[in-house]
Amino acid sequence: MDFHLSDAPLKSIFFTHFILTIWAMQGLWLPISYFYYNLVFMCILLWGIHLKDSEEPIQLAMIVNVVSVLLDIISVFIFAGHVKTSLEIFGLLSFLVNLVARVVTSIGLYRIQTERSGGYNHYGVPGLPDYLGRRGPYDIVPPPATAHAVPQTSADVSSPYQQTGLYNQEKTYSAVP
């Protein structure tokens, strides 16, 4: 199995959420929807690992991850009151650690997405500087200080139509041949 260093952050995000999701589902208090949206998130992460140059899976994973934070908050408020056994307490703690990890991995997914896109997309407010210091993999090269003019000759200025006299000729058409 090949292990590329460029894939390490995405693989660590995958395995972190994979383990924490499995541990959180040990208790029976979570709804089945938790399994489904985490399954979708894991599949999108695997898609992003497979397509190393595409930014689309990373964008989609970031969106699903942010929506999952909202769904996790709703789930914990509705279903966490039913936790009774030590196994369910362990599942709840794993669930909460996974919720905190989602916020951290959203930032990591954003950085991976900007690296894959070349750093040209900016989700900040237009006209304001980027205070987080994000940069793409390319440096901006300033233009040369002086521009050199290209010398022109009389052949460059005049048109071939003007030289032959065809430029200003009018065509007349008659109805009879």
- The answer, yes or no, to whether residue 68 has pLDDT greater than 80, is yes
5 DSSP assignment = G
- The answer, yes or no, to whether residue 136 has pLDDT greater than 70, is no
Distance from C-alpha of 86 to C-alpha of 92, rounded to nearest angstrom: 10
Give me the chain's average pLDDT, please: 79
Distance from C-alpha of 74 to C-alpha of 37, rounded to nearest angstrom: 13
- Largest CA-CA distance found in the chain, in angstroms, rounded: 105
pLDDT for the residue numbered 47: 94
Tell me which of 132 and 67 has the higher pLDDT. Answer: 67
pLDDT for the residue numbered 115: 86
**Quick count: other Cβ atoms within 10 Å of Cβ 17?**
21
- The answer, yes or no, to whether residue 108 has pLDDT greater than 80, is yes
Assign 166 a pLDDT band (cuts: 50, 70, 90). low
**Quick count: other Cβ atoms within 10 Å of Cβ 28?**
13
Residue the block writes with tokens 């390490």:
8
pLDDT for the residue numbered 148: 65
Residue 130 contacts residue 124 (beta carbons within 8 Å): yes
- The answer, yes or no, to whether residue 132 has pLDDT greater than 70, is no
Tell me which of 76 and 6 has the higher pLDDT. Answer: 76
CA 84 to chain centre: 40
Task: Break the chain into its structural domains and give their ranges.
Answer: 7-116
Span 125-139, average pLDDT: 52
pLDDT for the residue numbered 116: 84
Nearest to 71 by CA among 43, 113, 105, 32: 32
